Amino acid sequence: MQSFYAVYRKEMGHYFVSPIAYIFIGLFLFLSAYFFNYFLSAMIQQASMMAMQGMRFGAPPEVDVPGQVMRAFFGLLSTLILFFTPILTMGVYAEERKRGTMELLMTSPVTETQIVLGKFLASLTLFAVMLLPTASYLIFMCLRSDPMPPWRMLLAGYAGVLLLGGSLLALGTFISSLTENQLIAAVLTFAAFLFVWVLDLGSNASGSVGAVVQYLSVIRHYDDFTRGIIDTSALIYYFSFIALFIFLTVRSIDSMRWRRA
Amino acid sequence: MIEVENLTKTYGEATAVDHISFAVNKGEILGFLGPNGAGKTTTMRILTGFMPATSGTARIVGFDVATDSMDVRRHIGYLPETPPVYPDMTIESYLDFVARIKNVPAANRAANVTDAMRKTNLEDRRTELIKRLSRGYKQRVGIAQALVHDPDVIILDEPTVGLDPKQIIEVRNLIKGLAGNHTIILSTHILPEVSMTCDRVVIINKGKIAAVDTPQNLTSQLKSGQKIRLEVQAPPDAVKGALAQVPGVSRVQVEQLPSSAHSIVTVETAQGADIRSDIAAKIIASGWPLYELRGVSLSLEDIFLELTTDDASHAQPSVN
């Protein structure tokens, strides 16, 4: 436990003592705020236009503005994550290997699992810290809406973002453990992310094959969360995804001992 | 303290370490001497638990490196070839991190960190970022890192490489000061380093142990084939003829220096006796001006040459 915490603490220090975390969070918040503003004003404009049309032609159609904005915003977050997480994970192991500090960790009384979990949870913490301020946009919007949308929509949405982000971080750290080169790690991670993303398009395949391929896509399960639904099969999917890649990373670190350095 | 038996490491076809055995006693400094690629780093990596051996056993403080790796790791401090430092950390926070992962109890941590910094003379730069330090300071941080948990065994892979002469002397004194309380293995390819710091030397070449002895014994053993270098103003052939008559001379080589009448003479002596004065007397008696005369200390290459040719002559006496 002490060793795990030491690794976690060191990683957090690495993020927050250097400018990495601040640049990262700043850029992320700028982009997400810009798009939130855009979605909100577009949706309000659309709703008022429909209300005017309704006045002229009879019963106004119901427009769920906060619900629509939330769905669009969570969709945007997933896209931003796709671009941000490979940069976050590319150095996690590649940098340690290049600097030779992996040798220090592997000759200290720390197990591979403690190293991997410490690093994974640190990257997840940074991810959560990056995400947290965006909730203020949505909370503000919800408080000003009438009727107020249910809070579970907000909570389910963030649970979804965390699970999706956690899955991608697990996959990204695994890829980082395979190479000494950060750039290669980033490019491969991005390619892998795109692949697990577009598996959704496999839905064109017919029958059970199509259903299986569709189930494997990371983004498919995310949709439910953005609608305020927490589905157990989605939870199982994300937790197994994270566990699988954490396990593979542990094996990959362990295999370094057998490679010729 | 350290027992190594028949340790072997192969990478596919290549054998990096070939059935080596040696033991190190408590408080001793053992030097690992060999050219690059001799298997020094591989042996050290096996001892530290970084990589497993293909066959053979190694025990540190009674723990087997293969089966009790975690216990072994608690009892060793290890400085790899490049100091394993994080550039974004300060010296103090880095040593604190290492103390944590080495399971130093929280109550002793600050004291251990201060102690390691004091031993390596880093105290006045404790808050400096490691990336701003010079090569020599980084190396010191690397050594401090190996000491911070006060381990029984310290393994240092080329601790003086890349340092300037003043820093080399500091590091050597530091290592000598650590002996007694700690058992130390250090590797090097510099011969004087071994004779200055180590109690015992293991000479390793191509994965095999060529010799294990004290530096004094090794040096005296090597004196037998000493070389003497002279600079004389004399015709090459005459000088060669004259020196060959001096008793104890086994071989004379003469080179004419371009653009002067000086000759560079290399004399190899046969056994034991110091014949430098005899050679000087011969030159003076012949009436040639003598500009330089000095004994050439044997390089590592010469030692290997000697050790390997010895081996060959034992194995195949008919060839010579």
Segment A107-135, tens digit of pLDDT? 999 999 999 999 999 999 999 999 999 99
Report the gap between the CA of B218 and the closest CA in chain A (Å).
33
Position B287 scores a pLDDT of 87
**B contact test, residue of A1, A97, A108 with most B CBs within 10 A:** A108
Of A191, A36, A10, give the one whose Cα is nearest residue A101: A10
Q: Does B291 touch chain A (CB under 8 A)?
A: no
Same structural domain, B7 and B109: yes
A207 pLDDT higher than 90: no
Domain assignment of residue B275, given as a range? 226-297
B66/B215 same-domain check? yes
CATH of the domain at B198: 3.40.50.300
Give B29-71 pLDDT, tens digit per residue: 999 888 777 888 899 999 998 989 999 999 999 999 989 999 9
Which pair of structure tokens corresponds to residue B75?
A: 């009892």
Residues B165 and B247 occupy one common structural domain: no
Q: Are residues B253 and B181 in the same domain?
A: no
Contact B80 A99 (CB under 8 A): no
C-alpha span between A140 and A128 (Å, rounded): 19
Q: Are B236 and B260 in contact (CB under 8 A)?
A: no
- Residue B259 in 3-state DSSP? coil
CATH number of residue B246's parent domain:
3.30.70.260
A186-204 tens-digit pLDDT:
999 999 998 888 877 766 6
CA distance B92 to chain A (A): 13
The verdict on residue B70 lying in a domain is: yes
B194 and B242: one domain? Answer: no
Q: What is the pLDDT of residues B193-223, one digit of tens each?
A: 787 888 888 888 888 888 888 877 776 666 5
Closest CA in chain B for residue A18: B88
Supply the pLDDT for residue A260: 60
Segment B22-28 mean pLDDT: 90
Q: Are residues B17 and B154 in the same domain?
A: yes
Structure tokens at B62: 């009674």
Of B11, B81, B101, the CB nearest to A108: B101
Mean of all residue pLDDT scores within chain A = 88
Cβ-based neighbour number of residue B284 at 10 Å: 11
For residue A172, the surrounding DSSP H or E stretch is helix A151-176
Prior bond of A147 cis (ω within 30°): yes
Query: Both B142 and B177 in a single domain?
Result: yes
Question: Distance between CA atoms of A99 and A78, rounded to whole angstroms?
Answer: 32
- Report if residue B47 sits inside a domain: yes
Residue B315 has pLDDT above 60, yes or no: no
- The residues near B34 (Cβ < 8 Å, ≥ 6 apart) are B40, B187, B189, B203, B204, B205
| Its pTM surpasses 0.90 | no
Half-sphere exposure of A15 (CA within 13 A, CB side): 24
Determine the 3-state secondary structure of B51 from DSSP.
coil
**Of the candidates B266, B205, B191, the residue with the CA atom closest to the CA atom of residue B39:** B205
B120-153 pLDDT, tens digit each: 889 999 999 999 998 888 999 999 999 999 999 9
Residues of chain B in contact with residue A9, where contact means CB-CB under 8 angstroms, are 97, 100
Contact in structure between A103 and B84 (CB atoms under 8 Å): yes
Lowest-confidence segment of A96-100, B83-87, B273-277 by average pLDDT = B273-277
* CB within 8 Å: A100 and B84: yes
> Would you list the domain boundaries of chain A?
2-258
pLDDT band at B300 (very low <50, low <70, confident <90, very high): low
Residues of B in contact with A105 (CB under 8 A): 101
How many domains are contained in chain B? 2
Per-residue confidence (pLDDT) for residue B219, from 0 to 100: 67
B85 touches chain A (CB under 8 A): yes
Residues B277, B196 share a domain: no
Report yes or no: B103 at the A interface, CB cutoff 8 Å.
yes
Gap between the Cα atoms of B120 and B139, Å rounded: 10
Tens digits of per-residue pLDDT, A135-167?
A: 999 888 888 887 788 888 889 999 999 999 999
Interface test with B, best of A10, A107, A253, A259 (most B CBs within 10 A): A107
Half-sphere exposure at residue B85, Cβ-oriented, CA atoms within 13 angstroms: 29
Residue B318 within any structural domain of the chain: no
| Residue bearing tokens 């940098």 | A95
Of the residues B221, B239, B262, the one at which a domain ends: B221
Same domain, B232 and B205: no
CA-based nearest distance A13→chain B, Å? 8
Q: State which residue of chain A sits closest to B97, comparing Cα positions.
A: A6
- Based on the fold, state whether residues B58 and B202 are members of the same structural domain: yes
Let me know if residue B121 belongs to a domain.
yes
- State the pLDDT at residue B318: 33
**Would you call A3 and B101 a contact, using CB atoms and an 8 Å cutoff?**
yes
Q: How many Å apart are CA A60 and CA B54, to the nearest integer?
A: 79
